[in-house]
Structure 1
C-alpha cells in the first residue's frame, strides 16, 4: 500500500495536489516485453512532482474559462463529461497548453515511468500482482472493449482505485485513461526499433484496455493532433530546478 505522501505541495491546480518523487536511481524499460520497451537499464533520476490524479473535466473547464481555449471534445458527454472524471478528447497541444498555463509541463516518458513504477522496476504501480477490480479501471480481457466489472463502464472518478496507488501515492497511473507525455515517439538508445518523430507517446492504458496494455512500461505512439479519443487524457509535472 502506498504511503499517500502528498508532500505538502498543493500545486497550482485546485483539487489536484502535486506528489513529490525524489531523485535517485530507478529501473527504466524492460527486456521481457515488446521490442520498443527494451533495453532494461538503471537510470539516475532527478526529483520532480506529478499531479496526484489525471486532470479532470472540472479542472479543464476552469482552464477553458480562464483562457478561452477550446473545450474538450467530450465535455458534454453524459458519462465521459462528468466533472470528477478524467478529461478526454484533448490533443497533445491541448494538454500541453493546460500544463503551461499552470507553470507545469507534461511528464517525460522517464518521469511517467518512474512515478508509476517506483524505484525497483515494478510491473504495476502497486507491485507485481495483476490488475483487478480494486486496483485499476480496465477493459475486457480482449482488446479493446470497456466493461463494468470494476464498477465503471467507461471512465472512473480520477481519485478512485486507492488500492492501485503508486509508491508515492499517485493514482491511476495504470488504467482509467491513457496519458499524454511530452516526448516524441522514438526508439530507446541501443535498440534498432523504428521511431517516428511525428507521434507522441501515451502511457498507462485505459478503461477499455486489455491486460497486455496495462503495465508501467507500455508505450503507445499516437497522432498528437487527434482529439477525438474517448480514452485519452493527461496529468502534469513540475521539475525540480
Structure 2
C-alpha cells in the first residue's frame, strides 16, 4: 500500500468566488468497506487521478449569483430565515440544479470515488479527521436517533459553510461529513457485480450526512440513493470538482 503524508494542500481561487479549489493529488486510496452496510462492500484499494474540490459546500450566496447570471431557477429554500442565509450551504436543489451550477463554472459534481478520497484520505479513515467520532466540535449533526436536528453542536439546522475547522480533512476540506448531504454525479448501483438492488439506475448518490443525521449516517462511506428530481430537501446540497485533464 502506498501512503502519502500531507502537511498542507495546494489551492487556487477557482471560478467560484470565496470557495477555493483544494488540490487532491493522485495516488492509491481505500474505497468502500467490508464491515458496514451491504452497498458499501467490498473494501478495495484503488489508484486515483489528481483532482481539486471546493473547500466548502456551495453557499446560498454563491448559488444566488449563479441564478442571477443564468436565469436558472432559485433554490427552494432561498428565502428561509435560517436555511436561506448567505453563508449557509444551499439546500433545496435537485441533482440537475447542482449539475448545472458546476457546469456553468467549468466544473463537475464529484464522483463517489472523488468524494471518498477527499473525505477519507489515503488510508480509509472513517471520518475526514481520522477515527474519533464526530462529537460536537467536528461536524454539524443531528439527534442520536434518526432523523431530527438538535443544538448540541451549536446549530439547530445548517451551519455556515466555513464552520467546524476541527473536522477538516487532512488537505483542509470542510464539512465532508455533516451539515448537508452532498450530491455526487454517480448513478446509484451496488458495488458488487450481481448484487440485487431494485433502485439501481433510478437514483443518484448523496454522501456525507447532514445536520439532522444520526451517527450511523455520518461516515465517509455511507451511500444514500436519492431521487435526482427531488428539490425540496432541507438537508441536501453539493460542491464541485475540477478533474485532471
Give the TM-score taking structure 2 as reference length: 0.96
Q: Which residue of 2 aligns with 1:151?
A: 154
Q: Which string of whole-angstrom CA distances, capped at 9 and with x for unpartnered residues, describes residues 88-108 of structure 1?
A: 000000000000000000000
Tell me the residue number matched to 1:39: 42
Match of 1:224 among 219, 228, 232: 228
How many pairs does the alignment contain?
A: 240
Q: Is the 8 A contact 1:6 1:17 kept in 2?
A: no
What is the distance in 2 between the residues matched to 1:56 and 1:126? 22
* Superposition deviation, residue 7 in structure 1: 1.6
Counterparts in 2 of 1:49 and 1:173: CA distance versus 1, 3 Å: same
Distance 1:225 1:78 in 2: 24
2:86 aligned partner? 83
1:236 aligns with 2:240: yes
Name the counterpart of 2:217. Answer: 213
Structure 1 partner of 2:118? 115
Contact 1:142 1:210 in 2 (8 A): yes
Shift of 1:5: 3.5
Cα deviation, residue 193, structure 1: 4.1
Q: Once the 2 structures are TM-superposed, how far is the Cα of residue 3 of structure 1 from its aligned partner?
A: 6.7
1:112-164 per-residue CA deviation (whole Å, 9 max, x = no partner) reads 00000000000000000001110000000000000000000000000000000
CA distance in 1, matches of 2:120, 2:214: 19
Does the aligned pair in 1 maintain the 2:9–2:24 contact within 8 Å? no
Aligned to 2:203: 199
Q: Structure 1 runs of 4+ off > 6 angstroms?
A: none
Measured in 2, the distance between the counterparts of 1:190 and 1:3 equals 34
Query: Pairwise mapping of residues 112-191 of structure 1 onto structure 2 (< 5 A)?
Result: 112-190=115-193
Quote the offset at 1:9 in angstroms.
1.0
Rounded to whole Å, the distance in 1 between the matches of 2:178 and 2:154 is: 13
Query: 8 Å contact 2:82–2:158 — kept in the other structure?
Result: yes
- The answer as to 2:70 corresponding to 1:67 is yes
Q: Residue 23 of structure 2 aligns with which residue?
A: 20
- Within 1, Cα distance between the matches of 2:204 and 2:155? 28
Distance 2:141 2:226 in 1: 20
Look up the match of 1:5: 8
Secondary structure class of the residue paired with 1:197 = coil
Distance, in Å, in 2 between the alignment partners of 1:230 and 1:191 is: 34
Q: Distance in 2 between matches of 1:189 and 1:209?
A: 26
- Call closer, same or farther: CA 1:4–1:163 in 2, change over 3 Å: farther
Aligned mates of 1:93, 1:221 — CA distance in 2: 15
How large is the RMSD of aligned CA atoms in angstroms? 1.3
Alpha-carbon offset, residue 6 of structure 1: 5.0
